[in-house]
């Protein structure tokens, strides 16, 4: 065999070896690809995440401005904050570590105008504020279920309060600029209504009521809160009656219009013993 023939056979063998190696490599890649597709087909459903966890999420608009955040505050409260197109926070929903759930709504100037919170003890309050950040209306529901509505002035003082007691009584109380109670209207659980008037010191000076036995009564008192004058119409005989009392509460003068229209007057001493009467 001459050199030319030997060289030709060598080239053919080398080409066959190269082709054989290339076929083996393609076969290996094909096997790996089939195995990968099989594994992916078997595990794909379990790789779909059903929860995303992070300490803070940020929502941005098309211009990159922050319009909302969800995360933890430095005080440990979890809060959702929503902003307007000027990036001014307008709505905040939060829950503190102490159990206070709250919602705050602000105007475009950043002033808080409405707030709703529920404390850990179950008491809830809705507050409406003016543009000066002063609470002006407060609606409350206490833990025992008692509701109330209060109107406040710019100084934060109650000027009127409408409330329902735990026993079922209702009342409307009006206050002056000093925060002192000046008048009230109430209705007891059983139904008897009453109106109270107070002086500048908060002392009850007059009361108009209808008692439980249906007697209309007017009571006038002194600065010490002691009743000094009683006027009423008896429920049984429908007769008017006037009674004057001293500082110790002793009845000293009584005027009664008896049946048939006959008037009677009696005077008493400090022990309420009658010392004069007519007729």
Tell me how far apart the alpha carbons of residues 244 and 200 are, in angstroms, rounded to a whole number: 24
What size, in residues, is the chain?
279
Within-domain flag for 125: yes
Within-domain flag for 246: no
Within-domain flag for 60: yes
How would residue 15 be classed by pLDDT, with cut points 50, 70 and 90?
low
The pTM for the full model equals: 0.71
Number of Cβ within a 10 Å radius of residue 194: 17
Of the candidates 209, 251, 195, the one whose C-alpha atom is nearest the C-alpha of residue 227 is: 251
DSSP calls for 22-54: HHHHHHHHHHHHHHHHHHHHHHGGGGS-S----
230: its two tokens = 């009683």
247-272 tens-digit pLDDT: 999 999 999 998 888 999 999 999 99
Within-domain flag for 237: no
Within-domain flag for 72: yes
45-65 tens-digit pLDDT: 556 667 888 888 999 999 899
Within-domain flag for 118: yes
Within-domain flag for 174: no
- Domain span including residue 106: 54-130
115-154 tens-digit pLDDT: 999 998 889 999 999 999 999 999 999 888 889 999 999 9
Specify the CATH number for the domain of residue 92: 3.90.930.1
Number of structural domains in the chain: 1
Burial class (CB in 10 A: 0-12, 13-18, 19+), 70: middle
Tell me how far apart the alpha carbons of residues 225 and 242 are, in angstroms, rounded to a whole number: 19
Q: Which residues fall within 8 angstroms of residue 51, CB to CB, at 6 or more apart?
A: none
Helices and strands in the chain, H and E counts:
1, 20
Within-domain flag for 104: yes
The residues with which 218 forms a beta bridge, in sequence order, are 208, 231
């Amino acid at each position: 065999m001459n050199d030319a023939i030997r060289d030709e056979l060598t080239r053919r063998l080398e080409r066959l070896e190269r082709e054989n190696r290339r076929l083996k490599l393609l076969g290996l890649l094909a096997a790996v690809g089939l195995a990968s597709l099989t594994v992916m087909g078997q595990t794909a459903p379990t790789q779909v995440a059903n929860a995303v966890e992070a300490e803070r999420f940020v929502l941005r608009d098309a211009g990159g401005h922050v319009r909302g955040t969800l995360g933890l505050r430095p005080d440990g409260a979890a809060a959702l904050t929503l902003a307007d197109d000027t990036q001014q926070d307008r709505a905040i929903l939060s829950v503190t570590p102490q159990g206070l759930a709250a919602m705050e709504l602000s105007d475009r100037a950043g002033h808080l105008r409405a707030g709703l919170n529920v404390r850990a003890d179950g008491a809830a309050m809705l507050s409406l504020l003016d543009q000066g950040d002063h609470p002006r209306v407060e609606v409350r529901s206490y833990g025992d279920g008692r509701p109330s509505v209060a109107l406040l002035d710019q100084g934060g003082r109650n000027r009127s309060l409408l409330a329902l007691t735990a026993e079922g009584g209702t009342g409307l109380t009006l206050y002056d600029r000093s925060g002192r109670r000046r008048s009230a209207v109430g209705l007891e659980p059983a139904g008897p209504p009453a109106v109270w008037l107070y002086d500048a010191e908060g002392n009850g000076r007059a009361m108009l009521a209808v008692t439980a036995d249906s007697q209309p009564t007017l009571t006038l008192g002194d600065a010490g809160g002691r009743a000094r004058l009683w006027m009423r119409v008896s429920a049984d005989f429908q007769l008017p009656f006037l009674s004057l009392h001293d500082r110790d509460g002793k009845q000293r003068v009584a005027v009664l219009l008896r049946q048939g229209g006959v008037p009677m007057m009696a005077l008493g001493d400090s022990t309420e013993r009658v010392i004069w009467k007519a007729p």
